A and B are shown apart, each in its own frame.
Chain A
């Protein structure tokens, strides 16, 4: 796979629910190559502070447009949220290894289940598009109703959408992995795909193990280079440390040591 560095024009940049933003940029090359689970490493500004690029997963592509969703947490994402359509962003991508979905049955009697926590919905919409013939089910977890993202996008793809919120303001009250357990008791499941905060992924991994289901997890990590050179974003696997940016960000749950 060829990693490219591109000066990409911003097509749109909008505020979403809560503290999230949605940005589209123009890059035929990245759009053509991108796979669900891969990410781009964005230089949000060309000054020296913030210094590092910001790794953000690909939310989808349409034609030559690439879409991302980001959470405004610090200085870097603050600056990104203020960038205007027509301006250019320096982008490295597509990076990493995405979800391994090609070998799955196109129309399954067993459901594929996607489990998202917070920002984790971003790459899973892209994945749901690829899996739409098998009508996957998506479980979305958030602290509160306000932080739920992409519900309509999943519905438009024909997914069964179930929601869990910590405060019960929407859907199931509790953790998304508790909701997963409920679903597993009622549904025949083929494969789990998940993206979200570390503790949630760990819980998904446990559920997968208990139920002998294969789970693919997309990890988050602090990154510097994004191409596997600095060895900063390592994760401990059964085969030693691996780079989240280059060997991941998607790993099979049985490979990880929690």
Chain B
């Protein structure tokens, strides 16, 4: 009997090397210490932090979450302690973990804030990559940066000049053409794209005739949005060359594999962290098994390998 080698799960996202392609999505995992007694954090491919802004943010009015069919709405509003307190109080736990830490950042008013944020993060060696969140639906803006190709190009170009770190750009699904925005980010020098942020949504309490969220509207996540996310990953994969980190309702190995086949190089587990904290670790071993079952040695044999339908 031929002894088969264990498949290799490592992937590369720009300059960032991950021992496996499973990360936890921004805003769904806090700063990781919240989960330390529940899962072995060191096994994760990477951790993406809750989005950080220059100044501390209180976030939106409550209620901020509401359950929907196979999903949930949130309108947290980027509550965070600001970059200084993040580095002072939250980062030491993360850097001790010894796994890649991707810091998610957002600008509240003007894109200039990204310069301030990058200036503080660039010298920190343990910041493995930057995720540019230009797609948060909870900032009460009329238009998000990632809803405009030109604005996306300008902001990403400006940030690109300021950082040598791996630069991931997180895009909104609330657009007419994800390809157009994805190309703008790629042309501006992004190393990778994170697809997708939440879909705009609203839910109403019919008894009281009031919105269920304090901010009235929010972002939809969970398995309900997975087909939308898979399609956007597939559309972008066909037009761009940089790696894609796929996310949106990943609940188990099969849903992660779906994203990889559609063209993702890595995946992020988000809402599932609230429901089953073990999800990401289960997917890591599930992927190992999937590759073995399908006689694959590494993930490049899976990414983007969608076959045409046959009758």
Say whether A and B bind each other: yes
- The answer to whether A51 and B222 have CB atoms under 8 Å apart is yes
CA distance A225 to B28 in the complex (A): 8
Main secondary structure of the interface of B (DSSP, over half): loop
A224 with B62: in contact, given A229-B35, A229-B273 (CB under 8 Å)? Answer: no
Q: Does B79 contact A (CB under 8 A)?
A: yes
Among B98-106, B274-282, B292-300, the one that faces the other chain is B274-282
Q: Does A241 contact B (CB under 8 A)?
A: yes
- The answer to whether A234 and B59 have CB atoms under 8 Å apart is yes
CA distance A235 to B27 in the complex (A): 18
- The answer to whether A223 and B34 have CB atoms under 8 Å apart is no
Give A46's nearest chain B residue, CB to CB: B276
Give B56's nearest chain A residue, CB to CB: A240
Q: Does A173 contact B (CB under 8 A)?
A: no
Q: Does B262 contact A (CB under 8 A)?
A: no
Q: Does A174 contact B (CB under 8 A)?
A: no
- The answer to whether A232 and B277 have CB atoms under 8 Å apart is no
* Among B35, B72, B223, B251, contact of A224 (Cβ-Cβ < 8 Å): B72
Q: Does A32 contact B (CB under 8 A)?
A: no
- The answer to whether A225 and B58 have CB atoms under 8 Å apart is no
CA distance A4 to B36 in the complex (A): 10
A224 with B274: in contact, given A3-B37, A50-B67, A232-B64 (CB under 8 Å)? Answer: yes
* Among B27, B29, B35, B65, contact of A223 (Cβ-Cβ < 8 Å): B65
Interface string of A210-247 (1 = CB under 8 A from B): 00000000000111111111111111100011000010
- The answer to whether A241 and B58 have CB atoms under 8 Å apart is yes
CA distance A240 to B277 in the complex (A): 28
Q: Does B206 contact A (CB under 8 A)?
A: no
Give B27's nearest chain A residue, CB to CB: A230
- The answer to whether B28 and A43 have CB atoms under 8 Å apart is no
Q: Does B38 contact A (CB under 8 A)?
A: yes
* Among A4, A48, A50, contact of B37 (Cβ-Cβ < 8 Å): A4
Closest chain-A Cβ to B286's Cβ sits at a distance in Å of 16
A229 with B28: in contact, given A5-B38, A51-B275, A224-B74 (CB under 8 Å)? Answer: yes
Q: Does A92 contact B (CB under 8 A)?
A: yes
Q: Does B123 contact A (CB under 8 A)?
A: no
Residues of B within 8 A of A2 (CB): 37
Give A228's nearest chain B residue, CB to CB: B34
- The answer to whether B34 and A231 have CB atoms under 8 Å apart is no
A52 with B274: in contact, given A5-B38, A230-B28, A232-B76 (CB under 8 Å)? Answer: yes
Closest chain-A Cβ to B34's Cβ sits at a distance in Å of 4
Q: Does B63 contact A (CB under 8 A)?
A: yes
Give A240's nearest chain B residue, CB to CB: B58
Interface string of B79-92 (1 = CB under 8 A from A): 10000000000000
* Among B70, B71, B76, B274, contact of A53 (Cβ-Cβ < 8 Å): B274
A222 with B66: in contact, given A228-B30, A234-B59 (CB under 8 Å)? Answer: yes
Main secondary structure of the interface of A (DSSP, over half): loop
Residues of A within 8 A of B34 (CB): 225, 227-229, 246
CA distance A2 to B36 in the complex (A): 9
Q: Number of B residues contacting the other chain (C-beta, 8 Å)?
A: 34
Interface set, chain A 86-101, CB cutoff 8 A to B:
90, 92
Residues of B within 8 A of A240 (CB): 58
CA distance A224 to B69 in the complex (A): 14
* Among A90, A232, A236, contact of B74 (Cβ-Cβ < 8 Å): A232
Residues of A within 8 A of B274 (CB): 52-53, 224-226, 229-230
- The answer to whether A229 and B29 have CB atoms under 8 Å apart is yes
- The answer to whether A231 and B76 have CB atoms under 8 Å apart is yes
Interface string of A44-56 (1 = CB under 8 A from B): 0000111111000
Residues of A within 8 A of B251 (CB): 48
CA distance A225 to B274 in the complex (A): 4
Interface set, chain A 10-53, CB cutoff 8 A to B:
43, 48-53
Residues of B within 8 A of A51 (CB): 67, 70-72, 222-223, 271, 275
Closest chain-B Cβ to A26's Cβ sits at a distance in Å of 20
CA distance A48 to B278 in the complex (A): 16
13 cross-chain CB contacts under 8 A: A4-B38, A48-B222, A48-B223, A222-B65, A224-B74, A229-B30, A230-B27, A230-B65, A231-B64, A233-B64, A234-B62, A241-B58, A241-B59
Which 9 A-B residue pairs are closest in the complex by CB-CB distance?
A229-B30, A232-B65, A229-B34, A225-B274, A48-B70, A224-B274, A232-B64, A2-B37, A231-B79
